[in-house]
Amino acid sequence: MRRLIYRSTASPGLDRVEMFRLVYQARVSNEARGLCGFLIQIEDRIFQVLEGKTWKLVATFENIRRDPRHFGVEVLDERCVDDAAFASWRMRYFDGRNIPRMLAQITDAAGGNVPPLVQHAILEFLGPELILPIMEPAAKTTPPAVPLRPEAALPSSPRPC
Ligand SMILES: Cc1cc2nc3c(=O)[nH]c(=O)nc-3n(C[C@H](O)[C@H](O)[C@H](O)COP(=O)(O)O)c2cc1C
């Protein structure tokens, strides 16, 4: 089993309608070839995780790499894995409109255990301008009513007496 992560840039002709057509066809092909994964599109930026048996995946990715509907294909990671993390998705498509929901669905699909490299690649693809607005509310929560004692941060230090 193999997992490949890449990013690319959509060609100008790859509008919303064409993208839906592409994803529909990809699902049919992936079903037949035992491939799975997901694709995120944010404006013209594309990110895809593709998983499956090595030779099916390599052959399909050769098609994908040469496909003129996108360009600048950059492989972010490619490795052997024991199991597919996204086996339930023939090719899930996210248009990046609701990032928190997207991240929750990706986590659910992976059984709460998104492989660290996939997490890292997604966060890097999204970048701080999309990630920080999600994190800000947590950072703004009111501090605990009882302030932490400084020594509480030093578990290995001897207790003051
Ligand atoms: C961004 C992007 C993602 C694609 N993802 C897949 C995919 O997951 N599976 C797939 O079979 N084809 C995918 N394709 C289409 C392939 O490039 C190619 O058209 C297809 O594999 C040809 O399939 P066929 O050999 O059945 O004609 C993708 C194309 C693009 C531009």
Nearest atom (ligand 1) to Cα of 33: 11
Count of structural domains within the chain: 1
- pLDDT of the chain along its 161 residues, tens only? 999 999 999 999 999 999 999 999 999 999 999 999 999 999 999 999 999 999 999 999 999 999 999 999 999 999 999 999 999 999 999 998 999 999 999 999 999 999 999 999 999 999 988 888 877 665 555 555 554 444 444 444 444 54
Of 111, 121, 120, nearest to 84 (Cα)? 111
Residue 148 lies in a domain: no
Instruction: Determine the length of the chain.
Output: 161
Write the CATH number for 61.
Answer: 3.30.70.100
Nearest atom (ligand 1) to Cα of 66: 17
Residue 149 lies in a domain: no
Residue 143 lies in a domain: no
Distance separating alpha carbons of residues 138 and 76, to the nearest angstrom: 30
Residue 64 Cβ contacting ligand 1 at under 6 Å: yes
Residue 155 lies in a domain: no
* Domain enclosing residue 18, as ranges: 2-130
Residue 107 lies in a domain: yes
pTM to 2 decimal places: 0.85
Residue 33 lies in a domain: yes
